[in-house]
């Protein structure tokens, strides 16, 4: 491995670059001192001489050292580093919050508060792990998103600035010139939008971006999983035979649509809240598990009793969650009932306590896909105050949902990445009605814990028994037990002997 906990192995990294090894795409970046450019390990350009190469763990570290992103391999399309989900330490959680736009909205001070540490301590950890601070990481994320928008779309430069998270066009222009050495308009004139990009239209009409991933990627498995659990009025799917061709869900100000494509996922955004684009991209990546490393999963699970299942479906991913609280409510509602029954109840909850995705009079979201998803799933504060009587929920289930909503609304439990996973699980288990299975399922999908295991799951237990897998075998599946669970659930579903989980 060329990537260790805090440093990069030069020889291993150079070998990966020489081989253009896609397994390391997104895990490190190659900077060339003679050109001032940094690239992905898979860049098709000629391999530079060893003496002219520097390796960086994060794109922000390369940019802080004065290097500019390559226009040929486009670092903005790199999948994320899955190692942060495995570690789930403070830096990993901070990176997730930065992707979610916390630093843009609240600054580094607000980011540190969410993580319950001082700014100084956070900066010290970032410098040790990444070679640069959180402010530089947030700035690089904005710049790379802006670069993608300039390259793939003909969105006006003013709209690009705000969509990428900059506070003003002047700030955007200054950042581009300082970091990349040219103004936004120069990049667009030099390369122009890719063929097939939409015309100069507003975001409300639709903006499409590419979301990269590592191969192999079983897009249909993830999309079918989501389709089976789509909440009426909040989510919708389009099909062509057994395949899901599009997944659409409501977001504040409009909707997003995800479509599988060759080598990537196409994200189409229709929203009036342009400043949320970075957050939308990050949450869609988590929802579809686009940053996973199937090679690392295969390396562990492929040497165990799960080897035949892994060989049959090497691109299987763990479906994530667009919103952590929504997923937690799904898990509670879905206890001991069918997937169809849970969908019905969740649709009633959304109808009772949700808000319109597009407020009246804003003029957004008139595409057919948006018309299918008019409602947002209720936030924690709304659900905590909502009257859930008469929806078909038991009294005990209503009490659990309300207690969960109150804990999330008060900040006692954070389901969107700021909290330590172990502490979050402990907090969930203190809520009456949430047991080990529910907490494990929430950790698996909402907290993105790749080693989460839904303890006591009946389908997992029966499937393991049929395959002759002993209970203690699960220890050999660490740190990828969540992927092991998906392989077992998928096998049970494929053989028509299992019941899908909610």
What single-letter DSSP state applies at residue 499? -
Q: How confident is the model at residue 6 (pLDDT cuts 50, 70, 90)?
A: low
- As a whole number, mean pLDDT of residues 20-37 equals 94
Q: Give the C-alpha separation, 376 to 365, whole Å.
A: 13
Predicted confidence at residue 361, as pLDDT, reads 53
Q: Which of 39, 70, 73, 284 is catalytic?
A: 39
- As a whole number, mean pLDDT of residues 413-442 equals 94
Predicted confidence at residue 399, as pLDDT, reads 98
Predicted confidence at residue 181, as pLDDT, reads 87
Q: Is 89 a catalytic residue?
A: no
Q: Is 2 a catalytic residue?
A: no
Q: Which of 159, 449, 457, 500 is catalytic?
A: 457
Using CA atoms, how far residue 158 sits from 31, 101, 162, 431, in Å, is 30, 19, 7, 47
Neighbours of 194 (CB within 10 A): 10
Q: Give the C-alpha separation, 269 to 251, whole Å.
A: 9
Predicted confidence at residue 182, as pLDDT, reads 86
Q: Where are the beta strands (DSSP E) in 107-187?
A: none
Predicted confidence at residue 368, as pLDDT, reads 62
198 backbone dihedrals φ, ψ, rounded to 5°: -70, 170
For 36-85, what is each residue's pLDDT tens digit?
999 999 999 999 999 999 999 999 999 999 999 999 999 999 998 877 77
Residues in the chain: 502
Predicted confidence at residue 191, as pLDDT, reads 54
Structure tokens at 96: 């997730």
Q: Give the C-alpha separation, 115 to 119, whole Å.
A: 10
Whether the upstream peptide bond of residue 216 has omega within 30° of 0, thus cis, is: yes
């Amino acid at each position: 491995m060329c990537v260790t906990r805090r440093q990069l192995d030069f020889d291993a990294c150079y070998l990966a670059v020489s081989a253009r090894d896609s397994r390391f795409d997104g895990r490190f970046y190659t900077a060339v001192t003679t050109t001032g450019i940094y690239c992905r390990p898979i860049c098709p350009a000629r391999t530079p001489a060893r003496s002219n190469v520097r390796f960086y763990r994060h794109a922000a570290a390369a940019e802080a050292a004065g290097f500019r992103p390559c226009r040929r391999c486009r670092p903005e399309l790199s999948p994320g580093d899955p190692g942060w989900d495995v570690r789930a330490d403070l830096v990993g959680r901070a990176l997730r919050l930065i992707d979610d736009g916390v630093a843009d909205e609240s600054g580094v001070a607000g980011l540190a508060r969410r993580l319950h540490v001082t700014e100084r301590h956070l900066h010290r950890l970032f410098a040790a792990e990444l070679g640069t601070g959180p402010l530089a990481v947030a700035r690089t994320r904005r710049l790379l998103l802006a670069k993608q928008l300039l390259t793939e779309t003909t969105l006006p430069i003013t709209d690009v600035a705000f969509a990428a998270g900059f506070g003003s066009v002047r700030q955007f222009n200054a950042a581009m010139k300082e970091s990349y050495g040219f103004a936004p308009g120069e990049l667009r004139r030099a390369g122009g939008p890719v063929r097939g990009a939409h015309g100069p239209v507003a975001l409300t009409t639709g903006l499409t971006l590419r979301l990269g991933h590592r191969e192999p990627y079983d897009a249909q498995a993830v999309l079918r999983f989501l389709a089976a659990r789509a909440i009426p009025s909040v989510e919708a799917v389009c099909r062509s035979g057994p395949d899901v061709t599009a997944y659409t869900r409501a977001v504040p100000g409009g909707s997003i649509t995800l479509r599988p494509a060759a080598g990537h996922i196409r994200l189409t955004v229709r929203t009036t809240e342009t400043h949320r684009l970075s957050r939308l991209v990050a949450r869609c990546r988590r929802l579809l598990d686009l940053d996973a490393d199937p090679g690392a999963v295969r390396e562990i699970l492929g040497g165990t009793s799960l080897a035949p299942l892994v060989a049959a479906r090497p691109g299987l991913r763990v479906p994530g969650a667009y919103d952590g609280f929504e997923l937690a409510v799904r898990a509670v509602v879905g206890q001991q009932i069918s997937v169809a029954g849970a969908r019905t109840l969740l649709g009633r909850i959304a109808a009772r306590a949700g808000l319109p995705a597009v407020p009246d009079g804003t003029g957004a979201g008139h595409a057919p896909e948006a018309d299918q998803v008019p409602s947002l799933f209720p936030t924690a504060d709304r659900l905590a105050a909502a009257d859930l009587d008469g929806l078909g929920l038991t009294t005990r289930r209503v009490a659990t949902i309300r207690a969960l909503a109150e804990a999330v609304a008060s900040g006692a439990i954070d389901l969107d990445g700021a909290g330590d996973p172990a502490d979050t699980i402990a907090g969930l288990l203190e809520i009456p009605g949430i047991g080990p299975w529910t907490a494990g399922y929430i950790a698996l999908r909402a907290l993105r814990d790749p080693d989460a295991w839904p303890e006591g799951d009946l389908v997992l237990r029966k499937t393991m028994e049929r395959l002759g897998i002993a209970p203690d075998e699960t220890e050999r599946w660490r740190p990828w037990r969540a992927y092991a669970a998906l392989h077992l659930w998928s096998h049970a579903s494929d053989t028509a002997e299992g019941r899908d989980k909610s």
